[in-house]
């Protein structure tokens, strides 16, 4: 995915080279082109909302179930084409990791309706390429001979393409979960459960604050939430299946791993038995992830007066 970033970037930005070279006032030293460009690096954290972990109770949506302990480092690179400091089109690559685990609920286990006892966990690397639009409301007005403010709150809307690969740790080894079909994905007995793809489209909605350090550099703080089209970011969504089916569809060694890793309640209570058709996840809401990133940008395209 990283190799795709540069050619896509060129395709997005080349049309802007045809714009007329007209200038407008920026400050007492510089004019702006109608379109200026920004190249930047990002760093921060990535976190997720999935069926696993969360807080006490039955599990709630979005920020009510947020656990900061899940946060992992994230980083990336972006390129902006900004029109009159008001609207920007940007291409961005973001890379990080998400994770969650039911064991975080141990202190409130009595309130979690079996979510702690479910005892599942996952981690996944995330690689994303994203095309986004920024809207900077403060710059929709004309400042005439006044310098625009150095700060600019903005809204972000984006569409992205991301890859993930949920894994779980068992017996000293990490196992990719998608090939194990832990909820019967692709089995004839569960025709509504299709194997999920490890590369998918997402949609982003967020906000940020940009501060112009000077005419060449700026810094941003940005939150961006990704709305996903899958409930399998963590490989958990619906119900337990009959474990005998693993042996009908998977090689023997893989079926044995699938049976053990899909049901882990017995690691906490050996007397627990496999609850065929019992609740494993909540299919009512898809999973999601978000980033909080600090961005450092280099601006070019401004002209000395």
Per residue in 132-185, pLDDT (tens digit) is: 999 999 988 876 667 778 899 999 999 999 999 999 999 999 999 999 999 999
Confidence of residue 277 (pLDDT cuts 50, 70, 90): very high
| Residue 246 φ then ψ, to 5° | -55, -40
12 or 117, higher pLDDT = 117
Which has the closest alpha carbon to 224: 287, 288, 136?
288
pLDDT, average across residues 109-128: 95
Domains of the chain: 2-11+39-175+188-231+288-304 (2.40.160.20)
Structure tokens at 126: 């995330």
Instruction: Identify the pLDDT of residue 193.
Output: 96
- Tens digit of each residue's pLDDT (9 = 90 or more) over 47-100: 999 999 998 877 776 677 888 999 999 999 999 999 988 999 999 999 999 999
Confidence of residue 303 (pLDDT cuts 50, 70, 90): low
Residue with tokens 């949920």: 166
15 or 103, higher pLDDT = 103
Q: How many CB atoms lie within 10 A of CB 47?
A: 22
SS (H, E, C) 227-266: EECCCCCCCCCCECCCCHHHHHHCCHHHHHHHHHHHCCHH
CB 120 within 8 A of CB 168: yes
Instruction: Identify the pLDDT of residue 76.
Output: 98
Instruction: Identify the pLDDT of residue 56.
Output: 84
Instruction: Identify the pLDDT of residue 304.
Output: 57
Instruction: Identify the pLDDT of residue 227.
Output: 97
103 or 215, higher pLDDT = 103
Instruction: Identify the pLDDT of residue 133.
Output: 98
pLDDT, average across residues 33-60: 90
Confidence of residue 301 (pLDDT cuts 50, 70, 90): confident
Instruction: Identify the pLDDT of residue 305.
Output: 56
Instruction: Identify the pLDDT of residue 12.
Output: 45
Q: What integer best gives the mean pLDDT of the chain?
A: 89
DSSP label of 115: H
């Amino acid at each position: 995915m990283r190799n795709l970033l540069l050619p896509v970037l060129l395709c997005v930005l080349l049309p802007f080279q045809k714009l007329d070279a007209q200038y407008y006032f920026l400050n007492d030293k510089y004019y702006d082109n109608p379109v200026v460009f920004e190249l930047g690096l990002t760093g921060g954290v990535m976190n997720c909302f999935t069926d696993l972990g969360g807080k006490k109770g039955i599990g709630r949506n979005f920020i009510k179930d947020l656990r900061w302990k899940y946060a992992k480092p994230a980083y990336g690179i972006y390129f902006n084409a900004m029109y009159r400091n008001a609207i920007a089109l940007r291409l961005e690559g973001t890379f990080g990791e998400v994770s969650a685990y039911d064991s975080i609920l141990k202190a409130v286990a009595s309130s979690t309706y079996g979510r702690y006892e479910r005892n599942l966990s996952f981690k996944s690397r995330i690689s994303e390429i994203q095309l986004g639009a920024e809207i900077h409301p403060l710059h929709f007005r004309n400042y005439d001979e006044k310098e625009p403010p150095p700060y600019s709150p903005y809204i972000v809307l984006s569409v992205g393409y991301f890859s993930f690969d949920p894994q779980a740790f068992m017996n000293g080894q990490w196992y990719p979960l998608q090939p194990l079909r832990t909820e019967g994905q692709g089995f004839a007995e569960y025709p509504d459960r299709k194997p999920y793809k490890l590369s998918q489209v997402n949609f982003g909605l967020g906000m940020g604050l940009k501060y112009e350090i000077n005419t060449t550099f700026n810094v941003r703080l940005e939150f961006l939430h990704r709305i996903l089209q899958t409930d399998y970011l963590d490989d958990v969504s619906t119900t337990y299946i009959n474990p005998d089916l693993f042996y009908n569809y998977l090689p023997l060694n893989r079926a044995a791993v699938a049976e053990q890793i899909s049901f882990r309640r017995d690691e906490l209570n050996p007397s627990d038995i496999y609850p065929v058709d019992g609740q494993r996840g909540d299919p009512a809401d898809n999973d999601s992830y978000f980033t909080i990133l600090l961005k450092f940008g280099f601006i070019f395209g401004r002209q000395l007066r």
